[in-house]
Chain A
Amino acid sequence: MHETSVAQRMVDTAIEVADQNGGGQVVGMRLLLGDMTCVDAETLSFAFGVVSRGTRVEKCRLEIVRVPTRLRCRTCGAERGGDLLEPCVCGLPGGEVLAGRELRMDSIDIDEDAALAAGKQP
């Protein structure tokens, strides 16, 4: 259940970034999640709902954007999707990971009206 550790960091980061931008409610968040990460999107969404409760991220709409795995063959250099054990067209499995390890916060949405009305909230 490391999704909880991940979700807690998402909430902390969102509050930090919101504060740097005038405060207010965080109403949206876009997260890039690579297919190769050991993070489960459904579990993460659930954990995010739990740890954001009672914070300014509570009503946040979480958009998780899957990033498919991209591999480059170590032998012939061809790029492909799929997983490490599926062989390249040249017949060899494995390869260098070009994409799919992302666990990255892309953006957040802040409610500006709430920020102006309430100023900085805890």
Chain B
Amino acid sequence: MSKEIEVARDVLQDNSQNAGTNRQRFGRDGVYVVNLMSGPGAGKTTLLERTAEALGQRVRMAVITGDIATTRDADRIGRHGVRALQINTGGACHIEAHQIARAADDLGVGKLDLLIIENVGNLVCPAEFDLGEHDKVMMLSCTEGHDKPGKYPLMFQESRALILNKMDLQPYTNFDVEAALADARAINPTIEVIKMSAWKGDGLQAWYDWLLARMAATKRG
């Protein structure tokens, strides 16, 4: 004989609980936390190098970066005078909330104003794992194609801002900016858009202004 037992529980409940604990802690500590997501090679690390150079002296910032292997990203970002902590996910395609809790301990987040989490490069999995961040920011580069927001809607739907990167390369590709934005806005009508070339530097000021404004807004509560 077998008996049926009602469970009625979200499978990722433990991650959501850990994310909730992180969120409370970040609120208490007054640190603004961004979860930066994109496919691999969109330019997240380059953007964070620039951000570290530009803001590292003005705000107390740190970066947590997730990759399957190597400490290359943390090494790159760390050269620009901010603390960068690498999480190696060992094959997993995303960062989970408990890993952020541990990294936050190591970094001493209470002493920070800004923490940026560079998620594992992936357009699918990170969407399912809340980390306790204030904002998700999605980055899409021109070389990936304008059809991506429509094909991978979840991550675009959950993001507060969309960075269109590698705009310097756009004339050499068939990337249709309006088509990409039409899909992104159909999925998420309030998404804010920042166009840039992190490598060349165009549009970076708008990103810094956005970050500082969001930082101030979360501090005010």
Contact = CB atoms under 8 A, between A and B. Distances in A.
Contacts of B14: 9
A121 interface: no
Q: Is the interface of A mostly helix, strand, loop or mixed?
A: mixed
A37 to B, nearest CB: 7
A31 B157 CA distance: 24
Interface in B1-28: 1-12, 14
B189 interface: yes
B6 A107 contact: yes
Nearest to B8: A106
A65 to B, nearest CB: 13
Interface string A36-58: 11110000000000000000000
Nearest to A44: B11
A13 B9 contact: yes
B56 interface: no
B127 A94 contact: no
A114 to B, nearest CB: 9
A18 B3 CA distance: 10
Contact of B5 (A10, A21, A94, A104): A21
Interface residues of A, number: 38
Contacts of A21: 3, 5
Interface string B183-194: 101111100000
Interface in B117-133: 124-125, 127-129
Interface string A89-122: 0001110010000011111111111000000000
Nearest to A1: B93
16 contacts: A2-B125, A5-B92, A9-B11, A17-B5, A38-B127, A38-B128, A84-B187, A85-B183, A103-B128, A104-B8, A105-B8, A105-B9, A107-B8, A108-B4, A110-B2, A111-B1
6 A-B pairs with the lowest CB-CB distances in the bound complex, closest first: A93-B186, A2-B125, A105-B7, A109-B2, A38-B124, A94-B186
